[in-house]
A and B are shown apart, each in its own frame.
Chain A
Amino acid sequence: MNELVERVTEISGQNVYSCYQCGNCSAGCMFTDEMDILPHQAIALVQNEDESILEINTPWICASCFVCSVRCPRGLDVAAIMEALREIKIRERGFIKVDLRKVDIEKLPQIAITAAAQKFTW
């Protein structure tokens, strides 16, 4: 198995080859306006062992709302695949998505900062 596919599978526990590209995840996603490519296209890149997926913004725009996961006719947890793609980057030495020291902790509620820290930092 290709390394990208292997890592996504290991982290997410999902079999990306289950996806048959129906696009239901992308149809339900509320954040596609901000995404470089649609969620089902992101999965296609993983299936095609295309590492450029790690440089596009789609997994980072995902807000983990789980609409895609609830609606996938193949039972794939699409949000978990997006998380795996984020995790692969987050686990790289030296990769920084957010510097929490620069976040305005006076203004934002604790719940938002903790959530962002969980999703965007190691």
Chain B
Amino acid sequence: MIIMEVLYYPGCSLRNTYPEFEKSTYEACEKLGIELVEIPEWSCCGVVPSLATDNVMRHLGAVRSFINAQKKGREIGTNVIVVLCSMCYNVLKRVNLILKEEPDTLENVNSFIDDQPDYVPDLRVTHFLTFLKETGFENLEEKVNKPLKGLKVAPYYGCALLRPDRPEGVPIDNPDNPVILESFVRSIGAEPVHFPFRAECCGNYHIVLEPGIVEMRTRKIIGSAKSVKADLILSPCPLCTYNLGRGNESLDKSEQVPVVFFTQLLALALGGKSYLPTEIEDQILKKIGGEKSD
């Protein structure tokens, strides 16, 4: 049963590094009656937003995807783009807002991309979590047939979903006191545990040149989640997930906390395939008391 069609921007990480993020999302969307319509010929978003005001070159990847999304959106009658990866969300959201606010920048990029129709900035970029919230976490709760009862989940926001707060509209929740992931965790029957490092930075791109910084950061984040007895860390971001994985590798087995994508728990709670490693899925099922689907 398809009740809603939306444009969908996958991003590179979901196709290369973490296919389980995308596959579990498709699984969940099928159960929820959401059809993700992939933007044809989408480009890499650039991962990090350029903060230089005098150089719009780094926005071009995002704009090329918007032009293709615009065409497809008109065909299927929607202007909403759903994004899963936090980094892609941040870049696409930011660039779209800048193009709405700055006519000169819009004209500049449109005249540069002269082999394509102009981008008319009427698309709306939405993170999948916001999309779920808007369709109602309570509706989600009704569709959960395997509530993850008793599972302690540490919702880790990272940076890209919450910051920066300019242009207005980038954060998906209050940057200082977000609750959206906690609400999501409750809606799938699990228990969110509060830990002070939930919105701290994992070290971002420093993994390339200064991996020591990332290990220092992620060990603190994992240690903080461990101290509140979290069974799992819930991540919305492929780069955070990778960096937290590197942090886990540098810790003793007893100090580690597994990191999973939020859509993997969603798919599991909806009675679908989670694409979790067997070991982790078994631990979760054991924790919630077997495979009963009541």
**Quick one: which of B46, B164, B203, B207 contacts A118, CB cutoff 8 A?**
B46
Q: Which residues of B contact A110 (CB under 8 A)?
A: 12-13, 16-17
Cα A87 to Cα B53 in complex, Å, equals 11
* Contacts A30-B217, A111-B87 given; does A66 touch B163 at CB 8 Å: yes
> C-beta contact mask, B204-220 vs A, less than 8 Å → 1, else 0?
11111110010011000
**Distance between A110 CB and nearest chain B CB, rounded to angstroms:** 5
> C-beta contact mask, B40-52 vs A, less than 8 Å → 1, else 0?
0000101110111
**Quick one: which of A11, A98, A109, A119 contacts B48, CB cutoff 8 A?**
A119
A77 touches B50 (CB 8 A): no
* Contacts A12-B53, A112-B208, A116-B205 given; does A69 touch B239 at CB 8 Å: no
B166 touches A69 (CB 8 A): yes
* Contacts A65-B201, A110-B12, A118-B58 given; does A83 touch B207 at CB 8 Å: no
* Contacts A30-B200, A65-B201, A115-B87 given; does A109 touch B54 at CB 8 Å: no
User: What number of A-B contacts does a CB cutoff of 8 Å give?
Assistant: 122
Q: Which residues of B contact A77 (CB under 8 A)?
A: 51, 164, 166
Q: Which A70-122 residues sit within 8 Å CB-CB of chain B?
A: 70, 77, 79-80, 83-84, 87, 97-98, 103, 108-116, 118-120
Cα A114 to Cα B166 in complex, Å, equals 23
A65 touches B163 (CB 8 A): yes
A67 touches B13 (CB 8 A): no
B46 touches A65 (CB 8 A): no
Chain B CB within 10 A, most for which of A33, A80, A108, A111: A111
B50 touches A98 (CB 8 A): no
B207 touches A112 (CB 8 A): yes
* Closest 4 pairs between A and B when the two form their complex, measured CB to CB: A65-B201, A66-B163, A115-B205, A116-B208
B11 (CB) vs chain A CBs: closest residue: A111
* Contacts A30-B200, A109-B242, A114-B46 given; does A67 touch B163 at CB 8 Å: yes
B87 touches A70 (CB 8 A): no
* Contacts A65-B204, A69-B166, A111-B238 given; does A116 touch B54 at CB 8 Å: no
A10 at the interface (CB under 8 A from B): yes
**Distance between B211 CB and nearest chain A CB, rounded to angstroms:** 9
Cα A111 to Cα B206 in complex, Å, equals 12
> C-beta contact mask, A38-74 vs B, less than 8 Å → 1, else 0?
0000000000000000000000010111110110000
A64 touches B239 (CB 8 A): no
Cα A77 to Cα B170 in complex, Å, equals 14
B122 at the interface (CB under 8 A from A): no
Q: Which B237-266 residues sit within 8 Å CB-CB of chain A?
A: 238-239, 242
Q: Which residues of A contact B242 (CB under 8 A)?
A: 109, 111-112
Beyond A113-B208, A120-B205, 18 additional pairs, beta carbon < 8 A: A11-B54, A12-B52, A30-B217, A63-B203, A64-B51, A67-B159, A70-B175, A77-B51, A87-B52, A109-B17, A110-B12, A110-B16, A111-B85, A114-B46, A114-B47, A115-B87, A115-B204, A119-B48
**Quick one: which of B46, B85, B162, B209 contacts A116, CB cutoff 8 A?**
B209
Q: Which residues of A contact B205 (CB under 8 A)?
A: 63, 112, 115-116, 118-120
